[in-house]
A and B are shown apart, each in its own frame.
Chain A
Amino acid sequence: AQKITQTQPGMFVQEKEAVTLDCTYDTSDPSYGLFWYKQPSSGEMIFLIYQGSYDQQNATEGRYSLNFQKARKSANLVISASQLGDSAMYFCAMREGIAQTSYDKVIFGPGTSLSVIP
């Protein structure tokens, strides 16, 4: 079963508009973290934003915010005022603790390709 689902393989957004990238996850661990990464065509993975399962408020980092709905197990990324440089692949990832071990497991979703149109 897919642990991280990103249902939008590709998205288009007009420059300066806001866009929401969807992410749903599946875990039985009460303590977990959700991450969003950006991967431009150059290939590096750039960390954007983090949301902890116990965090009371939705995370924000500049133009990035995370719409965290714990009951629905969704962690959508909102990019405000899109810029041409936002065109990239976006990956949602979940970090969960493996029971009775000392390490965490990180799982990535399949990604969403975002294209910003001038």
Chain B
Amino acid sequence: EAGVAQSPRYKIIEKRQSVAFWCNPISGHATLYWYQQILGQGPKLLIQFQNNGVVDDSQLPKDRFSAERLKGVDSTLKIQPAKLEDSAVYLCASSLDLDRGRETQYFGPGTRLLVL
């Protein structure tokens, strides 16, 4: 079974530029998560999709971040314009969600973003 795919793996941009990340979850997984992980910290949930609907985006900085999940499969996360504090690893995860409270999340390799 193929894992969660993410691209690009690394990205360096200057502040005020825009950037987009892509995620393809494990086939059949209903829920897709985007996390931001700043160096030395635990992952922070940015947005959670269930199929193609948003169920939680309470921590997404909506003035600059946007995300979509077309057709309930792959997803893109965009930052426009980027700030220095957006430098982090952006992790995508997915889960099957047939058994509430028990589902394991599977993570992609992450995208390391550096904003100069």
Q: Which residues of A contact B (CB under 8 A)?
A: 4, 29, 31-33, 35, 37, 43-45, 47, 50, 52-53, 91, 95-97, 101-111
At the interface, yes or no: B25 with Cβ under 8 Å from chain A? no
- For the complex, what is the distance from the CA of A45 to the CA of B105, rounded to whole Å? 10
Contact A95 B106, CB 8 Å, known A110-B42, A111-B41: no
Per DSSP, chain A at the interface is: strand
Query: Closest B-chain residue to A6, C-beta based?
Result: B42
Minimum CB–CB distance for A18 against chain B, Å: 24
Minimum CB–CB distance for B13 against chain A, Å: 19
| Among B33, B42, B44, B89: residue with most chain A CB under 10 A | B42
Q: Which of B14-22, B48-56, B70-78 contacts A (4 or more CB under 8 A)?
A: B48-56
- For the complex, what is the distance from the CA of A46 to the CA of B41, rounded to whole Å? 16
Query: Are A43 and B43 in contact (CB-based, < 8 A)?
Result: no
Contact A44 B109, CB 8 Å, known A31-B100, A95-B103, A104-B97: yes
Query: Closest B-chain residue to A35, C-beta based?
Result: B104
| Among A35, A104, A105, A108: residue with most chain B CB under 10 A | A104
- For the complex, what is the distance from the CA of A105 to the CA of B43, rounded to whole Å? 13
Q: Which residues from A are CB-within-8-Å of B55?
A: 101-103
Minimum CB–CB distance for A90 against chain B, Å: 10
At the interface, yes or no: B45 with Cβ under 8 Å from chain A? yes
Query: Are A91 and B42 in contact (CB-based, < 8 A)?
Result: yes
Q: What are 30 A-B contacts with C-beta separation under 8 Å?
A: A4-B42, A29-B101, A31-B101, A33-B103, A35-B104, A37-B107, A43-B110, A43-B112, A45-B43, A45-B91, A45-B93, A45-B107, A47-B104, A47-B105, A50-B104, A52-B102, A97-B101, A102-B50, A103-B31, A103-B48, A103-B50, A104-B101, A104-B103, A105-B45, A106-B33, A106-B45, A107-B45, A108-B35, A108-B42, A108-B43
